[in-house]
């Protein structure tokens, strides 16, 4: 199924407002999706017999820079029966306050592979995934402070738990 056909399929199913835009300049086109509907969109793309995007390759959270104050998540889906790939993107503005993390729906109910991917992105960029069954830090220790892959992350501390950092 081509990119345009997928777009119209989603627009028919969820209404035209589900597609917030598209990026077609590069080698791979991406669909920008309304953040609140991402889990339903993934479920539809996975189960619809004409798309069957049954394989979640990767989830990437993105910090769009200190001035933009915008966080996003990029989903790379693949279809094993049709041998196709698709990129979905969602994004939302956020003021970078650590008490108010950017929040997106979790897609663990659709792809179990999303479990660890979402935990890692929560760990590294502080994206909160609503409805995730076990959203703990994955790679860093549980008591780590801050989110290292954010663009404004700095390690000013000279000490970590009383141990001097050179």
Partner 1 sequence: MEYTEALENYTRKIADAAVEDMVLNMGPQHPSTHGVLRLELITDGEIVKEVIPHIGYLHRCFEKHAESLTYQQTIPFTDRMDYLASMNNSHAFVMGVERMMGIDKDIPKRVEYIRVLVCELNRIASHLIAIGTYGIDIGAFTPFLWCFRDREHIMGMLEWASGSRMLYNYIWVGGLFYDLPVGFEERCREFIEYFKPKMVELNQLLTDNQVFISRTANVGVLPLDVAINYGCSGPMLRGSGLKWDLRRIDGYSVYPELEFDIPVGTGLMGSVGDCWDRYKVRVDEIEQSLLMIEQCLNRLQNELKRTADFDPRAKLPRKITPKAQDYYVRCEGAKGELGFYFMADGRSEIPTRVRARGPSFNNLSVLPELAKGVMIADLIAIVGSIDFVLGEVDR
Strand 55-63 with 70-79, pairing: antiparallel
Q: Is 56 among the residues that bind partner 1 (CB under 8 A)?
A: yes
CB of 37 to partner 1, least distance (A): 21
Q: Is 101 among the residues that bind partner 1 (CB under 8 A)?
A: yes
- The single residue among 2, 17, 27, 49 that binds partner 1, judged by CB under 8 A, is 27
- The piece of 7-15, 37-45, 113-121, 157-165 that touches partner 1 (CB under 8 A) is 113-121
Q: Is 112 among the residues that bind partner 1 (CB under 8 A)?
A: yes
Q: Is 161 among the residues that bind partner 1 (CB under 8 A)?
A: no
DSSP helix/strand/coil, 165: coil
CB of 28 to partner 1, least distance (A): 6
Phi, psi (rounded to 5 degrees) for 35: -55, -40
**DSSP string computed for 109-161:** TT-TTHHHHHHHHHHHH--EEET-TT---SSS-TT--S-TTSTT-----SEET
Q: What angle do CA 85, 6, 92 make, to 5 degrees?
A: 80
**Subset of 122-141 contacting partner 1 (CB under 8 A):** 124, 128, 132-141
- The piece of 9-17, 34-42, 70-78, 157-165 that touches partner 1 (CB under 8 A) is 70-78
SS (H, E, C) 73-104: EEEEEEECCCCEEEEEEEEEECCCCCCCCCEE
Q: Is 76 among the residues that bind partner 1 (CB under 8 A)?
A: yes
Residues that bind partner 1 (CB under 8 A): 23, 25-28, 30, 54-58, 60, 62-63, 65, 74, 76, 78, 80, 83, 85, 87, 101, 111-113, 115-116, 124, 128, 132-142, 148-149
């Amino acid at each position: 199924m081509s990119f345009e056909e997928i777009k119209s399929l989603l627009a028919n199913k969820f209404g035209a407002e589900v597609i917030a835009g598209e990026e077609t300049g590069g080698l791979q086109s991406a669909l920008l999706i309304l953040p609140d509907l991402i889990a339903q969109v993934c479920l539809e793309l996975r189960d619809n017999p004409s798309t069957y995007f049954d394989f979640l390759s990767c989830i990437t959270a993105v910090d769009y820079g200190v001035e933009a104050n915008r966080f996003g998540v990029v989903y790379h889906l693949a279809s094993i029966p049709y041998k196709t790939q698709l990129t979905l993107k969602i994004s939302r503005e956020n003021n970078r306050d650590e008490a108010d993390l950017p929040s997106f729906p979790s897609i663990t109910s659709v792809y179990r592979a999303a479990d660890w991917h979402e935990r890692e992105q929560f760990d590294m960029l502080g994206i909160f995934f609503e409805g995730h069954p076990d959203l703990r830090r994955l790679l860093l220790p549980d008591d780590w402070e801050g989110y290292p892959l954010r663009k404004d992350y700095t390690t000013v501390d000279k000490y970590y738990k009383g141990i001097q950092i050179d």
